[in-house]
Amino acid sequence: MIRVKGRTSLTDSIEASMTIDAIMEKMKLSGERFISILNGVPATGDRIVNPSDDLLFLEIFSGG
């Protein structure tokens, strides 16, 4: 399952293994605005995600 949490929340899935970067491109997410958590562990864009994995994209917020 792929989840996006931030200003907008989305849920999606994949049918074949893909890299995190490819998923972000497919979902039109910016790598500068989101961090990736794969199966509970922070992950980089080159990590492979399988359909059974849990991938969470958390939007980065900043402020003062």
**Residues of the chain above pLDDT 70, percent:** 98
Query: pTM for the full model?
Result: 0.90
Residue 64 lies in a domain: no
* Other CB atoms within 10 Å distance of the CB of residue 5: 14
Of 54, 14, 12, the closest CA to residue 37 belongs to: 54
Residue 33 lies in a domain: yes
Residue 10 lies in a domain: yes
Both tokens of 49, joined, read 């995600």
What value does the CA radius of gyration of the chain take, rounded to a whole number of Å? 11
* Other CB atoms within 10 Å distance of the CB of residue 33: 14
Region 27-49: mean pLDDT is 96
pLDDT value at 23 more than 90: yes
Bridge partner list, 41? 38
Q: How many structural domains compose the chain?
A: 1
Domain with 41 in it: 2-59
Which residue is it, tokens 């990590």? 47
Residue 15 lies in a domain: yes
pLDDT value at 28 more than 70: yes
- Per-residue confidence (pLDDT) for residue 64, from 0 to 100: 66
Output the domain CATH number for residue 41.
3.10.20.30
